[in-house]
Amino acid sequence: MALFPIKRPSAGDLGQWDPFTELSRLNERMSQMMDFWRNGEKTGTLARWFPALDVIENEKNLILKLDTPGLESKDIKVEVNEGQLTISGERKQEKEEKNEEFTHIERSYGSFMRVLPLPDYVNFDSIDAECKQGVLTVKMDKIPGRKKEVKSIPVH
């Protein structure tokens, strides 16, 4: 099924064409696409989800906290490559019992990936990750003496 079906008007249809009706149909199709992207198929399974992220910075550390309910350490992968931190994982849907019927599903399942550029003042060798009580904490030490540089750009 095409996202934007093409209907070629016949000679009698030309006087009936209404651009507002077509815009309304386009809006409905776009809403359906966005709903699918946000929620997955109508069953709600295997939707793409992104754990909420907090970034905490103090004098010595940069700390990331991600909400990862239902995941264990073995379900999460943390990597550093070329100045980027990649955090990925997958939350699998619980197996259905034969006699259970779902009438409404809001929790998202499936894989996620967050790619975050790291500042050059982070010591890549000091990164430590721990998943505890549904929260992934990634702690990175800062390189002593290296500071965050802010450069002001004049506007002409």
pLDDT digits (tens, 9 = 90+) for 109-142: 778 888 999 988 999 999 999 999 999 999 999 9
Across the beta sheet with 128-132, what order do the strands follow? 53-57, 61-67, 135-141, 128-132
Question: Do 65 and 38 have their domain in common?
Answer: no
- Looking at residue 13, its pLDDT comes to 53
Per-residue pLDDT for 46 more than 50?
no
Question: Do 58 and 22 have their domain in common?
Answer: no
Residue 125's domain is classified under what CATH number? 2.60.40.790
CA dist 29 and 25 (Å) reads 6
Across the beta sheet with 110-117, what order do the strands follow? 76-81, 84-91, 110-117
Contact 103, 113 (CB under 8 A): no
Residue with the larger pLDDT of the pair 43 and 8: 8
Range of the structural domain that residue 36 is part of? 18-47
Segment 11-31 shows an average pLDDT of 73
Per-residue pLDDT for 57 more than 80?
yes
In a domain, 131, yes or no: yes
Which of 86, 90, 51, 55 has its CA nearest to residue 68? 51
Sign of CA dihedral 26, 31, 36, 41: negative
Mean of per-residue pLDDT scores for the chain: 79
**Whole-prediction pTM:** 0.61
Per-residue pLDDT for 4 more than 60?
no
- Looking at residue 42, its pLDDT comes to 45
Question: Do 57 and 116 have their domain in common?
Answer: yes
Question: Do 73 and 127 have their domain in common?
Answer: yes
In a domain, 1, yes or no: no
- Looking at residue 88, its pLDDT comes to 92
Q: What is the CA radius of gyration of the chain?
A: 24
Comparing 19-33, 63-77, 88-102, 139-153, which segment has the lowest mean pLDDT?
A: 88-102
Question: Do 117 and 62 have their domain in common?
Answer: yes
- Looking at residue 136, its pLDDT comes to 96
Contact 116, 83 (CB under 8 A): no
Give how many domains the chain has, as a whole number.
2
